[in-house]
């Protein structure tokens, strides 16, 4: 939705400058410097480069800003994460073609890290605002040694290739400023996601806030406002080496740029004149329906209706009571299951933003009819559409599983064909207001078939005392868990080949598999002689099938055929957290920013389990091996085999069979068998200390004492030396404030008395706020001896079981 709103000064970042001296030239050569107070100006006078202080800040940065118009509007910052504290900074170009920013002690504050050395380098500020290091007079930007356009800040300018260059290893994306006075990277990123069919995704840390939808030949599916206009042209490039979006200014007197502001809003600004200044030309997010997955899976958001969310035709709210209160997040489920024998039909929806394509497959050479047949042959395929909607349309885009983040438009939407049971289609249309099918005879037949199916399944599995892994107490609840046939899993895992085995636990083995559509899966196969494994298997089905959160592993379905019991999960390529933090070589690749994102993601997942999920889950085996990492290194809590749920006002429980992993168990649980949400909080605290230090709590031995990792961390904290705990491999990437706060919060989590530990709601807040934290008391299991002494003196008959070190991993289909 376009708007022409005057922008107040508060929305901009004007800079306070010390007295500036502008070079007559637009460049510097090797050996030349730019000191604080000096600038260079592009040949046409459009942009200026030098030192500045944003807003009311006294810190100094090197940046580029508009000069002719909107003087001081910053579009790029070099040293975002490392400001200078005074005006002693010097920007140099070395003879090798590397830009370096030095402080008063000649320490390197920022460097351009050129890809190759040069013989006669020049650093030139172009009229496009691109700051380029090149070889002499070579004006071919493809040959540039380094350019600022490859490293954007929060502004997307004409000429930037917004996306990925696989050949050069570049990923060009926007990161918001932290505040209007602080250009350091904020919480929001806007980048091209290459998973499945590419689309632009805006995230708040790891949480998806908005997505553009895929490029359909004319525009991104979720941008109906993106159309030919007098201000700028635009396009999308997608080939083997590059995937990027770009725009070009049509009239040089009307500058335009897209900015990701500190509040996570992506807006396009256009310059009018000095009287009107910048105006908002368009915005990525226009209304509530642009909030990612507002209506959950298989829901359709229409801002013009009340309520905004409706289920797709043939679908019903998964939890009707939630919908009555305006909570649509759990989405919709099918009223009638698919036939999968070639008799299913497709229902056409028009003028929509097509679903999230991170879980999609595509073929550029198919026509729409071939696309339909391909989808129909694959039981997991739930919808299809054209890749390119120009003319008669071409290409094929397929979706698998739930259809996430659909919304309705009045114009410039796209067509999609959703797979339905034949009985649900008839003469219906997927458009809003279409006639709903209500057949008494059909309903009776379907009910009869459903009852017969339940009877067959019940007869088959009654000998085990449970159906689909659900106890008698809970079998009446709808799990919405798809069934895979055994032949499909056998083919996917190459008949459970040893080469496909990912690992083995007390329940059995886990295998990697590849479905016919190319989707990679992880298959947990129950061992024949594992009684313990059956209990875990039942728990997985009961709990994880009902849990949906970005930081929890996603279950795709199960297989129960002949004497086989298997769970099918998404496959995560980066496996588990322990593979990185406890490995000296791999640990280097997991820098502090990624580790802090992982810490916050785990905290968010636990908060969901403890407070926001329907069941209030206690995980009971939270450890590094059970934190899986997706292709973007986002954490997902896995393995719910030992989990338990609390209902009503229940807050803690007691057991004589203590299960879990030594090193992560809380004192009251390991010694007395008492578990509660505070048990998981303790495990979380241990995990944070392991992430920070790169050391395992279990088996940690300090050379000068018998302290556990917890005891060592606490003594360092007490003595004001917490930074000594940090893994040396990430020392160069640290944010000391985040590190110290993470250690402080973790020590609050591992205190001896569970009443002293915070709940996860407080933990999530403490990790990201600047509030004053309470002083932690001595942690549980302060020394290694304390555990064995307490265990031997407890006198109870409890059995301690250490869960096997098992991992499952996952990837989205492409």
pLDDT per residue as tens digits for the range 319-363: 998 898 888 999 999 999 998 888 899 999 999 999 999 889 999
What is the set of domains in the chain, with CATH numbers?
9-151 (2.90.10.10), 290-438 (no CATH), 479-570 (3.30.200.20), 578-802 (1.10.510.10)
Q: Which of the four pLDDT bands, split at 50, 70 and 90, describes residue 705?
A: low
Has 621 been annotated as catalytic?
yes
Tell whether the model's pLDDT for residue 50 goes beyond 90: yes
Answer whether 718's CB lies under 8 Å from 727's CB. Answer: no
Look at residues 295, 300, 297 and name the one whose alpha carbon lies nearest to residue 312.
300
Q: What is the rounded distance in angstroms from the CA atom of residue 84 to the CA atom of residue 107?
A: 11
Among 290, 621, 630, 639, the one annotated catalytic: 621
Q: Which of the four pLDDT bands, split at 50, 70 and 90, describes residue 450?
A: very low
Q: Residue with structure tokens 């569970």?
A: 754
Better-scored residue on pLDDT, 158 or 230: 158
pLDDT in tens, 53-96: 999 999 999 999 999 888 789 999 999 999 999 999 999 999 99
Kindly give the pairing relationship between strand 299-301 and strand 406-408: parallel
Residue 626 DSSP class: G
Mean pLDDT of 304-316: 94
Residues 6 or more apart in contact with residue 735 via CB below 8 angstroms: 81, 592, 593, 596
Tell whether the model's pLDDT for residue 447 goes beyond 90: no
Predicted local distance difference test score (pLDDT) of residue 783: 60
Answer whether 466's CB lies under 8 Å from 385's CB. Answer: no
Predicted local distance difference test score (pLDDT) of residue 535: 62
Predicted local distance difference test score (pLDDT) of residue 785: 47
Least trusted range by pLDDT, from 313-317, 335-339, 376-380:
376-380
Predicted local distance difference test score (pLDDT) of residue 508: 72
Residue 775 DSSP class: P
Kindly give the pairing relationship between strand 199-204 and strand 207-214: antiparallel
Burial of 17 (0-12, 13-18, 19+ CB in 10 A): middle
Q: Which of the four pLDDT bands, split at 50, 70 and 90, describes residue 530?
A: low
Helix, strand, coil % (nearest 5) of the chain?
25, 30, 45
In this prediction the pTM is 0.55
Predicted local distance difference test score (pLDDT) of residue 153: 97
Tell whether the model's pLDDT for residue 472 goes beyond 60: no
Q: Report the 3 state secondary structure along 568-601.
A: EEECCCCCECHHHHCCHHHHCCCCHHHHHHHHHH
pLDDT in tens, 673-687: 888 899 999 999 999
Mean pLDDT of 698-720: 82
Look at residues 168, 171, 281 and name the one whose alpha carbon lies nearest to residue 232.
281
Predicted local distance difference test score (pLDDT) of residue 647: 63
Tell whether the model's pLDDT for residue 493 goes beyond 60: yes
Predicted local distance difference test score (pLDDT) of residue 477: 40
Cα 781–783–787 angle (5° rounding)? 50
Answer whether 291's CB lies under 8 Å from 272's CB. Answer: no
Percent of the chain with pLDDT over 70: 81
Residue 320 half-sphere exposure toward CB, CA atoms < 13 A: 4
Q: Residue with structure tokens 């909080």?
A: 681
Percent of the chain with pLDDT over 90: 53
Tell whether the model's pLDDT for residue 442 goes beyond 70: no
Q: Which of the four pLDDT bands, split at 50, 70 and 90, describes residue 533?
A: low
Q: What is the rounded distance in angstroms from the CA atom of residue 53 to the CA atom of residue 51?
A: 7
CA 194 to centroid of chain Cα atoms: 13
Is 524 labelled a binding residue?
yes
Tell whether the model's pLDDT for residue 433 goes beyond 60: no
Look at residues 5, 43, 349, 61 and name the one whose alpha carbon lies nearest to residue 184.
61
Look at residues 158, 146, 150, 202 and name the one whose alpha carbon lies nearest to residue 176.
202
**84 token code pair:** 């200078």
Mean pLDDT of 524-537: 64
81-87 contacts, C-beta under 8 A, 24 or more apart:
81/184, 81/185, 81/735, 82/109, 82/110, 83/57, 83/59, 83/184, 84/36, 84/51, 84/59, 84/60, 84/109, 85/58, 85/59, 85/60, 86/60, 87/18, 87/36, 87/37, 87/51, 87/60
Q: Which of the four pLDDT bands, split at 50, 70 and 90, describes residue 142?
A: confident
Look at residues 634, 622, 630, 652 and name the one whose alpha carbon lies nearest to residue 598.
634
Tell whether the model's pLDDT for residue 224 goes beyond 90: yes
Q: Residue with structure tokens 């592009």?
A: 42
Better-scored residue on pLDDT, 704 or 637: 637
Residue 711: phi and psi, rounded to 5, are -65, -40
Kindly give the pairing relationship between strand 99-102 and strand 15-16: unpaired
Q: Which of the four pLDDT bands, split at 50, 70 and 90, describes residue 186?
A: very high
Predicted local distance difference test score (pLDDT) of residue 443: 42
Q: Which of the four pLDDT bands, split at 50, 70 and 90, describes residue 429?
A: low
Q: What is the rounded distance in angstroms from the CA atom of residue 570 to the CA atom of residue 556?
A: 6
Q: What is the mean pLDDT of the chain?
A: 83
Predicted local distance difference test score (pLDDT) of residue 704: 61
Look at residues 631, 410, 645 and name the one whose alpha carbon lies nearest to residue 543.
645
């Amino acid at each position: 939705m376009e708007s022409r709103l005057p922008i107040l000064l508060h929305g901009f970042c004007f800079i306070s400058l010390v007295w500036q001296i502008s070079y007559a030239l637009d460049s510097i050569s090797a050996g030349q410097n730019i000191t604080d107070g000096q600038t260079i100006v592009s040949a046409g006078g459009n942009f200026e480069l030098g030192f500045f202080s944003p807003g009311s800040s006294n810190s100094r940065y090197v940046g580029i800003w508009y000069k002719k118009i909107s003087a001081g509007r910053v579009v790029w910052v070099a040293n975002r994460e490392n400001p200078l504290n005074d005006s002693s900074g010097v920007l140099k170009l070395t003879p090798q073609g590397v830009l370096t920013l030095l402080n008063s002690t000649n320490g390197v504050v920022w460097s351009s890290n050129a890809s190759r050395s040069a013989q006669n380098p020049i650093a030139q500020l172009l009229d496009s605002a691109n700051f380029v290091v090149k070889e002499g007079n070579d004006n071919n930007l493809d040959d540039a040694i380094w350019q600022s356009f490859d490293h954007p800040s929060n502004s997307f300018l004409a000429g930037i290739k917004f996306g990925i260059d696989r050949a050069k290893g570049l990923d060009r994306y926007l990161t918001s400023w932290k505040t209007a006075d602080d250009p350091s990277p904020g919480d929001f990123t806007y980048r091209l996601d290459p998973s499945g069919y590419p689309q632009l995704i805006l995230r708040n840390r790891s949480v998806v806030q908005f997505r553009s939808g895929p490029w359909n030949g004319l525009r991104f599916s979720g941008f109906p406002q993106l159309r030919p206009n007098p201000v700028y042209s635009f396009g999308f490039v997608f080939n083997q080496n590059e995937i990027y979006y770009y725009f070009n200014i049509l009239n040089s007197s009307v500058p335009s740029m897209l900015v990701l502001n500190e509040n996570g809003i992506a807006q396009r600004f256009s310059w009018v004149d000095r009287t009107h200044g910048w105006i908002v030309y368009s915005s990525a997010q226009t209304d509530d329906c642009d909030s990612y997955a507002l209506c959950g899976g298989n829901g359709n958001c229409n801002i013009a209706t009340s309520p905004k969310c409706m289920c797709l035709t043939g679908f019903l709210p998964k939890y009707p009571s939630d919908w009555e209160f305006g909570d649509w997040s759990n989405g919709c489920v099918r009223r009638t299951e698919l036939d999968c024998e070639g008799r299913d039909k497709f229902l056409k929806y028009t003028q929509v933003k097509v679903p999230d394509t991170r879980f999609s497959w595509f073929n550029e050479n198919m026509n729409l009819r071939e696309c339909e047949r391909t989808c129909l042959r694959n039981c997991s395929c739930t919808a299809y559409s054209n890749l390119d909607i120009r003319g008669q349309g071409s290409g094929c885009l397929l979706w698998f599983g739930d259809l996430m983040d659909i919304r309705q438009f009045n114009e410039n939407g796209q067509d999609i064909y959703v797979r339905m049971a034949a009985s649900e289609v008839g003469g219906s249309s997927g458009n809003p207001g279409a006639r709903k099918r209500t057949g008494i005879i059909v309903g009776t037949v379907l009910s009869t078939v459903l009852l017969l199916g339940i009877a067959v399944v019940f007869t088959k599995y009654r000998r085990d005392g449970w159906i689909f892994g659900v106890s008698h107490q809970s079998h009446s609840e709808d799990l919405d868990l798809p069934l895979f046939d055994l032949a499909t899993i056998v083919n996917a895992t190459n008949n459970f080949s040893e080469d496909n085995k990912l690992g083995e636990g007390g329940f059995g083995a886990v295998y990697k598999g590849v479905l016919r559509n190319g989707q990679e899966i992880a298959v947990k196969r129950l061992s024949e002689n594992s009684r313990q494994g059956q209990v875990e298997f039942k728990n997985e089905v009961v709990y994880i099938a009902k849990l949906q959160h970005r930081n929890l592993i996603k279950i795709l379905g199960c297989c129960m055929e002949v004497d086989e019991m298997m769970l099918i999960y998404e496959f995560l390529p980066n496996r588990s957290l322990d593979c990185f933090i406890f490995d000296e070589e791999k640990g280097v690749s997991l820098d502090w920013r990624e580790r802090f994102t992982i810490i916050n993601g785990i905290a968010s997942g636990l908060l969901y389990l403890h407070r926001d999920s329907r069941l209030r889950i206690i995980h009971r085996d939270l450890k590094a091996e059970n934190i899986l990492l997706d292709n973007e290194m986002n954490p997902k809590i896995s393995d719910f085999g030992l989990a338990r749920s609390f209902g009503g006002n229940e807050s803690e429980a007691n057991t004589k069979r203590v299960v879990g992993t030594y090193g992560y168990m809380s004192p009251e649980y390991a010694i007395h068998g008492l578990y509660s949400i505070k048990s998981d909080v303790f495990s979380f605290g241990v995990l944070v200390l392991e992430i920070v230090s790169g050391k395992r709590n279990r088996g940690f031995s300090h050379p000068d004492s018998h302290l556990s990792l917890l005891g060592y961390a606490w003594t360092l904290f007490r003595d004001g030396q917490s930074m000594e705990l940090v893994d040396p491999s990430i020392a160069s990437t640290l944010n000391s404030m985040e590190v110290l706060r993470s250690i402080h919060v973790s020590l609050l989590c591992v205190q001896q008395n569970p009443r002293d530990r915070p709940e996860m709601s407080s933990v999530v807040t403490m990790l990201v706020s600047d509030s004053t934290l309470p002083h932690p008391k001595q942690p549980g299991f302060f020394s290694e001896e304390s555990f064995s002494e307490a265990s031997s003196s407890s006198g109870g008959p409890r059995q301690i079981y250490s869960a096997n070190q098992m991992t499952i991993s996952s990837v989205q289909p492409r």
